Amino acid sequence: MDAKQPALGVMATLITIAIALGFISLFSFQVFAGWVAYLLISFIPMQIVIAVTWGSKLPRFAAARSQPLKGVLLVIVALAAGAIVAPVHQATVGGGIGPPPPMAAMCIILSVIVTFWAAIMWGGWPFTAIIKNPVAAGLVMLVVCYLVNYLLFRFFFDYSFMQGAPVYQPGLDPHGLFHAWNALVFAITALAVMFLMLGFELWPLTKWPPLMKQPVLGLVWTALALALGGVAYSLGVKVAGMDVVAFMVRAPIPFIFGTIIVLNMMQASLFAKSAQPLKGVLNATASAVIGILLAVGYGLLAPSVTGPVKSGPPGYDFELWLASALLGVTFPFLIFFAEFFQMWPLQKAQRGTSAAAS
């Protein structure tokens, strides 16, 4: 079978969603929202390095294979990295407590955002510029991302609002500058702006070639993501008065999820013939609509997949379930299918050797 876009992306997405929901159904809410989500998120930064920084062409022992072996080996590499990160992170940020306390869960989520930042906004700079071996450059970048992530977590996240709750661990609270939920949701919203700009293919920055070189691009893109993310966050949480966690699962997370489908699964094929900025507007609209519809669909299926989950404070069980289901499970599964397996077997497998050499 050799389907064409966008039908290929639609079929691949539906198959992946079915697999993801089937996987989620294997666990109770407590296990899924605790250990399962934590362990899955632990390998996503390595997945980003493989898919973005290495273009799924490295490491060569995996990329040189034909599908489906190439995909299997790349998945194993990502999982192996997660198997190292998860216990180290749990022993440090999580204090060795199981299931992972909120501090460990939020910090590991933040590491995904930081790795996206380094791999996409900064294009791997300065690591890819000063380290000749691309595998070493990617791994060093990943280690630095974890270090930067830890510093950001310690500086910005505060859990004082949880005092008195069974999940609160005073010794693990970094007592940072901001309410932990506010800090995390702001970071996720800024990440959504990064995906928005990808849909615009970095227009209008592309009009000024000097802006498209690192580190200038990284600085400008970061400033725009933080500024526009701050505006979107303020409009939703402060102006509209939405609960910050409800805002997270109704706006930035569905948009990010929809963008992955439009840009990765459909390979930006929906509006390929349109010029910017119209293409960006259409990509953003499609991403928002698709993401919101799928988030609503997931929410409707939650009782059947996992069982009843309560919405709202103090536990935010439904919101945690939805965020984990969309970005903790389905997102990495989508990237496995689209980038590691190259949509195999829905489209003909490419020879790994030619891909690795290109």
Query: What are the structure tokens assigned to 212, written together?
Result: 């498209």
Q: Give me Rg for the CA atoms of the chain.
A: 20
As a whole number, the mean pLDDT across the chain is: 95
- pTM beyond 0.85: the answer is yes
Confidence of residue 166 (pLDDT cuts 50, 70, 90): confident
- The answer, yes or no, to whether residue 38 has pLDDT greater than 80, is yes
**Tens digit of each residue's pLDDT (9 = 90 or more) over 297-319:** 999 999 999 999 999 998 899 99
Determine contact, residues 343/12, Cβ cutoff 8 Å: yes
C-alpha distances out from residue 307 to 32, 174, 220, 300, 346, Å: 12, 34, 45, 11, 33
- The answer, yes or no, to whether residue 357 has pLDDT greater than 80, is no
